[in-house]
Amino acid sequence: MKRTPVAHVIFPRANPLRPVPEFAWGAVEAIAQTRDFDVTVYMPVPARSFRALSSWARQARGAAGWPEGLDEALRKLEPRPVLVPFLPVPRRSTESAAAALSAALVKRPRASRPKVIQGSFLDEGGYTASLVGRVLDCPAIVVAHGTDVRAAKGELGEGGKRRRALEAVHRATQVVAVSHRLAQDLALVGARAEVLPFTAKASRFQLQAPPKGTPELLFVGRLSRAKGVDLLLSAFALLPRRDVTLRLVGQGLPDFDVPQAIAQLGLEGRVTITGELDQSGLPALYGRASVIALPSLAEGLPSVLVEALLVGRPVVATDVGGVRELVDGRVGALVTEPGPGPLAQALAETLARAEAGAFEPAALRAKALPFAWESVGPKLAELTRRLIGPS
């Protein structure tokens, strides 16, 4: 059976430990597992001779530079991506990357060019996929994940991001949003989106029995104010119980000094900073936790919550983005009021319910399964077939 060539555009993270967003890579794996598609991942990377300039420009605006070992980490991915070098033009690097990828694909024989191209994040991969689709005259799927929708609505104050996000949704053949809330937000900018959650793979997060011993709260994500880590620490300090510990797993960011906040709140010895881990190390940490907390200020549909529920752990999360599509009183608590007080109350109540056996791990996993790639992958494949049409 002849397989139809399709392409995915993913911009790599400046992080050798986790070089790509796992929820976006899940889309690649879902398409690669089908019998009728031959998927190629294209990754725009700064040309080697300009890496130093690119890193300097990124660091000047507070982003991470191009780290050692990232190229090697990218080449270990399966399927192995095609790295497309581009000229990192200040404030126009994404446009430069899109032009470089378009030029590379135009040079290929017509029969081997992709028949559908997909890109995640409207202002990066989505913008690039929509432009390449126009050049190659093939359908383009662009996927909105959260922050990119805020950019499209003009909430981030970055003109370039907004322009690219809007161009992506209006050029694309099909817009996909990872939650119904994001689809509603996209409608405000004149874009109609189909809803497909991009989260985790259930087979990587197996069900585990409830933990025993000292109760532990767990946070997984960037250690930043945007993810609500400052709010979580303040709420944790308000808990009347002192036998509970808190573990923070993630990469620290310059906007928030976590160790200093821990010291100021008198939480030394009760809070552990684990640092960032790859996905293989996360299931064990979910398993030993009693409750997973995610008090973000903005989200699309957090994979962390899906991963926690797949393992069988209750969750406490703020009512932002598409979180309420996943979280309710049956799986934990949805915090609808601002401030550390309501969060502390939700954490205390959910922890007490967990210790009393109120949450059946299998039921928590069942809630998350419709959001996992095992359920979503066939829908994405069918959407791709629909866009290609009859051969």
pLDDT mean over 330-347: 96
Same domain, 84 and 61: yes
pLDDT mean over 372-384: 97
Same domain, 82 and 157: yes
Q: How far apart are the first and last CA of the chain?
A: 13
Q: Where does the pLDDT of residue 297 fall: very low under 50, low under 70, confident under 90, or very high at 90 and above?
A: very high
The confidence score (pLDDT) of residue 368 equals 98
The predicted model scores a pTM of: 0.92
- In tens, the pLDDT along 187-209 reads 999 999 999 999 999 999 999 99
Q: Where does the pLDDT of residue 245 fall: very low under 50, low under 70, confident under 90, or very high at 90 and above?
A: very high
The confidence score (pLDDT) of residue 312 equals 98
Q: Where does the pLDDT of residue 243 fall: very low under 50, low under 70, confident under 90, or very high at 90 and above?
A: very high
Domain that holds residue 217: 202-370
Same domain, 218 and 106: no
pLDDT at 300 exceeding the cut of 80: yes
Same domain, 167 and 209: no
Nearest to 101 by CA among 4, 3, 10: 10
The confidence score (pLDDT) of residue 391 equals 46
Strands 193-195 and 174-177: parallel
- In tens, the pLDDT along 15-30 reads 888 899 999 999 999 9
Residue with token string 């880590």:
229
Same domain, 27 and 84: yes
Same domain, 162 and 307: no
Lowest mean pLDDT among 193-197, 272-276, 301-305: 272-276
The confidence score (pLDDT) of residue 62 equals 60
Same domain, 286 and 377: no
Could you tell me the CATH number of the domain that includes residue 278?
3.40.50.2000
Q: Where does the pLDDT of residue 111 fall: very low under 50, low under 70, confident under 90, or very high at 90 and above?
A: confident
pLDDT mean over 151-166: 90
Are 25 and 77 in contact by the 8 Å Cβ rule? The answer is yes
Give CA–CA dist 96/89, Å, rounded.
Answer: 7
The confidence score (pLDDT) of residue 386 equals 94
Give CA–CA dist 167/126, Å, rounded.
Answer: 9
The confidence score (pLDDT) of residue 57 equals 61
Report how many domains make up the chain. 2
The confidence score (pLDDT) of residue 220 equals 97
Same domain, 347 and 378: no
- What is the CB neighbour count within 10 angstroms for residue 91? 11
Same domain, 227 and 184: no
Same domain, 181 and 230: no
Same domain, 125 and 251: no
Same domain, 227 and 285: yes
Q: Cis omega (within 30 of 0) on the bond before 361?
A: no
The confidence score (pLDDT) of residue 63 equals 61
- In tens, the pLDDT along 49-90 reads 777 766 666 666 566 667 788 889 998 999 999 999 998 887
Integer CA distances (angstroms), 354 to 98, 219, 314, 316, 364, in order: 49, 17, 7, 12, 12
The confidence score (pLDDT) of residue 156 equals 81
